Every structure is written in structure tokens, then in C-alpha cells.
A = this chain, B = another copy of it.
Amino acid sequence: MVNIIHRIGIRSGSEKVYKAISTIEGVSNWWTEEVEGDDKAEGKIQFTFRTDTGNIKGQMLMEVKELNPQQRVRWHCVEGPDEWIGTDVTFDLSEQDNQTILIFGHRNWREAVEFTSHCSMKWAVFLLTLRDYVETGKGKPSPNDIKIDNWN
């Protein structure tokens, strides 16, 4: 199995970071504005990404598998791009040196394909904007996300 794993520090307590990764309102401020569903344990959350003209370019349905306040969130992808189905998105938090350290994972890809490396870079950019959102109140979720290549 192939894993994307990034480490980032956010100058904030873990409670605020946890809220940004575990609630529909939180995630809509840094990943995509269009989020709906049930963010409780065993709930399903749908994330939609659109082109500039409003067409859907990507949609993922995640089941909330773990919710440990201030410590861990895990989603399991049940619908979405073929390569994503069956993968897990994890957020592990700890406090160190007056920062909340987030170990972000997008784990259990069946194989490393070019789309994996696109997602690796794209997740890094979303984590920077997650940090901005928590630290300043202002993130850049899709459709206003930073584009990184000819795919998105």
C-alpha cells in the first residue's frame, strides 16, 4: 500500500485545529466550500469540487471512522475517484513547542500512480491553507484553491 504523509505545525491549540478537521463548517473553510452530510461518528460527508463554470470535477463521499477529540480523525473513502475508493484520510494531532503538530495521511492507495503525486502536492497546498484558516480565520478552499498543475 502507498501512503501520502505530510507533517505541518499550526500556531494554535489542538482544540481549534480539531474543530477545523472534524466539522463540516471547519472543513468547508480550507478544503472545499461545498461540504454536506453528517460529521458525527459513522456519518458520511460529501465533498464536491467544481470547475470555474460550475461543473462538478470531483466528488468524494467519506465515512467518518474515528473521532478522538484533539487527537485523531479518520475518514474512509467510499465513493470518489477510482484510485481513492478504499483509501483512508487521517489527521493525527499533538501539541509541541506551542504548536499543534498535524500528521496528515492519505493512506492505503493500491499503487503509486501519477494522480497520487498530484494529490500529494495538492494536499500539501490544502494543509497550508488549513494552517492559514486556523491561524488567521481565512483559508482558500476550492473553488478558490491554489492550482498546482494542468489537472487542478
Which residues of A pack against B, CB within 8 Å?
3-9, 96-97, 99, 101, 103-104, 112, 114, 116-118, 120-121, 124-125, 127-128, 148-151
Copies of the polypeptide in the assembly? 2
Name the residue in A103, A116, A120 with the highest tally of chain B Cβ atoms < 10 Å from its Cβ: A120
6 other contacts beyond A103-B114, A121-B127, A124-B124, with CB at 8 A cut-off? A6-B121, A8-B149, A99-B149, A99-B150, A101-B150, A121-B124
Report the minimum CB–CB distance from A30 to chain B (whole Å).
Answer: 15
Q: Which residues of B contact A127 (CB under 8 A)?
A: 121
Across the two chains, which residue of chain B brings its CB closest to A131? B148
B150 touching A6 by the CB < 8 A rule? Answer: no
Could you jot down 22 A-B contacts, CB within 8 Å?
Answer: A3-B112, A4-B120, A5-B116, A5-B120, A6-B117, A6-B121, A7-B117, A7-B118, A7-B121, A7-B148, A8-B121, A8-B149, A9-B148, A97-B150, A101-B150, A103-B114, A103-B117, A120-B120, A121-B127, A124-B124, A124-B125, A125-B128
